[in-house]
């Protein structure tokens, strides 16, 4: 019997100076701090983990109900509940560091100073490979999306964070804007090393019998497969507008879903809501990408980035 040798496709990527063994990351807020999924997923197999957003002080979050299921998606208004940067560094990061995977810390604040303080605290901390700056959370009244929907505010914030850290800075952009490329350019001009998109789309659901919003915050962020076409389109637009590498996300649940983003111009992808549905979704996406590469006879994932044919 003739042995059939197949060269394993090379899925590694240098993303903004962060070495990723493969392009599969976890979207912030959908994978906790890694430990929540460690019994289901060998975290060593992931390209990286983008942790749940961290602020300078602990945040309590919004009152329940916080989530509502929608067609092929869900609305959430968690309100960025998190234990604060000090507890993260003391209790969460040491555990994450025991794994052979990149750790990207998502940061946010209610003011420019908040963001800068968190970035300063994380700069030079061993075990952190990059910062993802959340300028796009739709569920808090101040900060978050306020920065992400105003080009000038976004630029100033990202430039201020850029100044206080040597880590790669990735701007997580909001889809709740008229033209995503304005914000991609603002991030580039501010000296960011990469982009993450998209965050959730602002949405609302109403219980018609009670005449009340389904979630206590009234509005929430829509995620899941329902938003994937919007996300792919925005990654495609942003990739054409700026040379920054992009982490594409929005409803990815399979290898083919991930490849849509890569062909649209993403260098890496993040699995989000699918983790809730299937705790092993990240590994399913990874094996789906590998299978695609083998089937297509593609040796290197990087040769597929942005290769959608639109002519």
Partner 1 sequence: MRSRRFRLPSSRFHKATILDNKSVGRGYFRLVLRALEMSAAALPGQFVMLRVSENMDPLLARPFGISSLPSRSSLELIYRVVGRGTSLLTQRKAGDSLNLLGPIGNGFPLPEKDATPVLIAGGSGFPPLHFLSAKAGSRAHLFIGARNKDCLPPSGIVKSFRDTAAKVHLATEDGSAGKRGMTTDLLNAFLNEMERKTPIVLYACGPHAMLGAVSRIAAIHSLPCFVSMEERMACGVGACMGCSVAMKTGGYKRVCKDGPVFDSRDIEWSEQVAVKLVESR
Residues that bind partner 1 (CB under 8 A): 29-32, 36-40, 42-44, 52, 60-61, 63-69, 71-74, 76, 78, 81, 97-100, 207, 210-212, 216, 224-225, 253, 273, 275-280
Give 223's strand partners.
74
Q: Which residue carries 């001009």 as its tokens?
A: 189
Tokens linked to 126: 């061993």
Considering the complex, what minimum distance in angstroms separates the CB of residue 45 from partner 1? Answer: 8
Tokens linked to 75: 């609305």
Of 137, 192, 210, 218, the catalytic one is 137
Closer CB to partner 1, residue 79 or residue 245?
Answer: 79
Whether 137 is catalytic is yes
Closer CB to partner 1, residue 242 or residue 281?
Answer: 281
Closer CB to partner 1, residue 130 or residue 265?
Answer: 130
Considering the complex, what minimum distance in angstroms separates the CB of residue 156 from partner 1? Answer: 30
Considering the complex, what minimum distance in angstroms separates the CB of residue 274 from partner 1? Answer: 9
In DSSP notation, 43-103 reads GGGSSEEEPSPB-SS-B--PPSP-EEEETTEEEE-----B--HHHIIIIIHHHHTTSSSEE
Q: Where are the alpha helices (DSSP H) in 141-270?
A: 145-148, 151-164, 180-189, 228-241, 255-264
Give the separation between CA 186 and CA 206, rounded to whole angstroms.
35
Considering the complex, what minimum distance in angstroms separates the CB of residue 39 from partner 1? Answer: 4
Closer CB to partner 1, residue 98 or residue 291?
Answer: 98
Sign of the CA dihedral with 88 first, then 94, 99, and 104 last: positive
Query: Which residues are known to be catalytic?
Result: 137
């Amino acid at each position: 019997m003739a042995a059939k040798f197949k060269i394993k496709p090379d899925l590694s990527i240098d993303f903004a100076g962060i070495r990723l063994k493969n392009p599969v990351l976890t979207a912030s807020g959908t994978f906790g701090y890694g430990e929540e999924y460690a019994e289901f997923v060998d975290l060593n197999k992931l390209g990286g983990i983008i942790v749940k957003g961290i602020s300078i002080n602990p945040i309590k979050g919004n009152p329940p109900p916080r989530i509502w299921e929608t067609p092929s998606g869900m609305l959430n208004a968690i309100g960025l509940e998190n234990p604060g940067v000090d507890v993260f560094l003391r209790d969460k990061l040491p555990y994450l560091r025991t794994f052979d995977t990149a750790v990207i810390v998502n940061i946010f604040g209610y003011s420019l100073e908040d963001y800068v303080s968190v970035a300063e605290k994380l700069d030079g901390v061993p075990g952190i490979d990059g910062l993802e700056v959340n300028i796009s959370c739709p569920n808090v009244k101040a900060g978050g999306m306020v920065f992400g929907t105003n080009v000038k505010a976004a630029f100033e914030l990202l430039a201020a964070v850029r100044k206080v850290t040597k880590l790669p800075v990735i701007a997580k952009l909001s889809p709740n804007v008229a033209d995503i490329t304005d914000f991609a350019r603002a991030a580039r001009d501010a000296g960011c090393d990469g982009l993450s998109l998209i965050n959730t789309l602002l949405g609302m659901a109403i219980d018609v019998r009670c005449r009340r919003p389904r979630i206590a915050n009234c509005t929430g962020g829509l995620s899941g497969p329902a938003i994937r076409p919007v996300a792919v389109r925005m990654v495609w637009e942003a990739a054409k507008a700026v040379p920054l590498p992009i982490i594409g996300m929005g409803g990815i649940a399979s290898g083919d879903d991930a490849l849509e983003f890569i062909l649209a111009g993403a260098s890496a992808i993040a699995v989000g809501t699918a983790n809730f549905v299937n705790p092993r979704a990240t590994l399913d996406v990874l094996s789906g990408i590998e299978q695609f590469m083998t089937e297509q006879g593609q040796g290197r994932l990087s040769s597929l980035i942005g290769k959608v044919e639109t002519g």
